[in-house]
Amino acid sequence: MTVADQLRVLIVEDSSDDADLLAHELKRGGYEVESQRVDTEEGMALALERNIWDLIICDYSMPHFNAMAALVLLRGSGLDIPVIVVSGAVGEDVVVETMRAGARDYILKDSLMRLVPAVKRELLQAQARRKEAERERLISFLFELSHDFFCIAGFDGYFKTLNPQWSKVLGWSETELTTKPFIEFVHPEDREKTNDMCKSLAARKDAMAFENRYLCKDGSLRLFLWNATPLVSERLYFASAHDITDISRSHEAVLQGERRFRELLEETHLFSVMLDIEGRVTFCNYALLNKTGFMREEVIGKSWFDVFLPDDARQSVSDMFHGKIRAGEMPSYFENEIQTRSGARRLVIWNNVILRDEAGKITGTASIGEDITERKEYEKVLHGKMLEIEKLNKFMTGRELRIIELKKEVDNLLKAGGLPPKYKV
């Protein structure tokens, strides 16, 4: 028995016999079950507060509680726990209403063979949701704490999302900043330049750096050094600005901005790497080195393709890189395998931008990569499980329909014989 086979189940059911039957079915499916039965709103609320649950199995209707109220209570708790409703025969409208309220599946009590496949599916999906929520939480944490100015702006000229630094430094509220065109907060002398830069950025796919001045609510000005990149498919700009008001607009300011950018990349759990136009590594962060097992001095100045690419992919990826650099373009997203010092392979999806100097000359590329090796394996397993579930569902649906037809035939025969119907379907 593994940790993955252990299952903590909250059973919302007024019948202890039915609760035991559910626990028995899960054990037959290979789970080591730890369960608690409740049948009131107070009991469920207390159980959610005191314990951590992997799954909730709920009867639709009980004397003092019901599935709809249980789903409302769970939503109010903010917990992400899959709920499977197991109940007697009900109308299709009830099933639809329950699923819309948040139930992950609805299983009839006389069809418990569907329970274990449904549980396996929902546990896999819940695990995926938790990983994605944690990733978003870490990104949000970085976004909120940064002393630089991060924003997402639309091609329509309005800010969509801003980190707290904007209001803290400029003095404008978030509502003020997002309900007016952002160009109105730019110094009048810099507006034409800023509009031209936005148009140019929307027409290309690589990052651009520029400076402009923003108006504070108290009438003062702040000088921003921007790095921005477009997401053309969504008609959005992703940008960060460093306040260089108190720093001379000299080469030292550019170097300091680059150092801050590299420090930020060092702290992220994603892979970060910069290459020059020949494909030599000029920067790589700790996350990449830690995962691959290389020392920094082993890779800086060396060919990215010779060090990190497997033999069977090295030439094709190298040819693609040099061809794109010559053409002045680079795929925004690219997926390929890299190899570690030990020869193990990791599948990485990269977000790439071309780097340019102040004169617009290409100096190399910057890439952020996410290791999706485990996620791909998970997706492969999940796909297989979903296909298996779909086959089972088709089989069980046909069987359940045939049972309903047989019950109707029995009722008709009873009526023909002058006897009351037994099933009333």
Q: Is a pLDDT exceeding 70 seen at residue 167? A: yes
In a domain, 309, yes or no: yes
CATH number of 244's domain: 3.30.450.20
Q: What is the pLDDT of residue 1?
A: 41
Question: Does 332 lie in the same domain as 359?
Answer: yes
257 is a domain residue: no
Nearest C-alpha neighbor of 350 from the set 329, 325, 375, 367 = 367
- Tell me the per-residue pLDDT of 279-300, one tens digit each, with 9 for 90 and over: 999 988 888 898 999 998 999 9
Q: What is the pLDDT of residues 382-424, one digit of tens each?
A: 677 667 767 766 766 667 777 777 777 777 777 777 778 777 7
Domain C-terminal end among 333, 348, 371? 371
Q: pLDDT band for position 142 (50/70/90)?
A: low
- Percentage of residues in the chain having pLDDT higher than 90: 43
Q: State residue 248's pLDDT score.
A: 47
Q: What average pLDDT score do residues 72-89 get?
A: 89
The yes-or-no verdict on residue 84 having pLDDT over 60 is yes
Average pLDDT (217-222) is: 92
* Domain limit, last residue, from 327, 345, 371: 371
Q: Which residues lie below 8 Å from residue 35, measured CB to CB, with a gap of 6+?
A: 8, 9, 10, 11, 19, 22, 23
How does residue 215 score in pLDDT terms, banded at 50, 70 and 90? very high
Answer whether residue 142 is part of any domain.
Answer: no
Domain region containing 393: 374-425
**Whether 118 and 166 share a structural domain:** no
pTM over 0.85: no
pLDDT for the residue numbered 3 = 45
Q: Same structural domain for residues 382 and 355?
A: no
Q: Are residues 104 and 187 in the same domain?
A: no
* Among 136, 158, 176, residue at a domain's last position: 136
Q: Is 364 left (phi over 0), alpha (psi -120 to 50) or beta?
A: left
Q: Where are the alpha helices (DSSP H) in 78-114?
A: 92-100
Three-state secondary-structure class, residue 269: coil
Q: What pLDDT is stored for residue 415 in this prediction?
A: 78
pLDDT score of 66: 92
- Domain annotation covers residue 255: no
Same domain? 9 vs 97: yes
**Statement to judge: residues 93 and 196 lie in one domain:** no
How do residues 96-124 score in pLDDT, each as one tens digit? 888 899 898 898 888 888 899 999 998 88
Q: Do 17 and 124 have their domain in common?
A: yes
pLDDT tens-place string over residues 324-356: 999 988 888 888 999 999 999 999 989 888 888
- Determine which of 2-11, 72-81, 260-269, 284-293 has the lowest per-residue pLDDT on average: 260-269
Residue 47: inside a domain: yes
Structural domain includes residue 299? yes
Residue 319 lies in a domain: yes
Same domain, yes or no: 132 and 40: yes
d(CA 85, CA 93): 14
Phi and psi torsions of 249, nearest 5°: -80, 75
Window from 94-108, 162-176, 246-260, 307-321 with minimum mean pLDDT: 246-260
Q: Domain check: are 286 and 407 in the same one?
A: no
Q: Are residues 179 and 284 in the same domain?
A: no
- CA dist 138 to 208, 341, 372, Å? 26, 28, 17
In a domain, 228, yes or no: yes
Number of domains in the chain: 4
Look over the chain and give the mean of its residue pLDDT values, rounded to a whole number: 84
Higher pLDDT, 421 or 303: 303
Which pLDDT score, from 0 to 100, does residue 2 have?
Answer: 46
Whether residues 94 and 211 share a domain: the answer is no
* Residue 13, pLDDT above cutoff 80: yes
Tell me, yes or no, whether 293 and 393 share the same domain: no
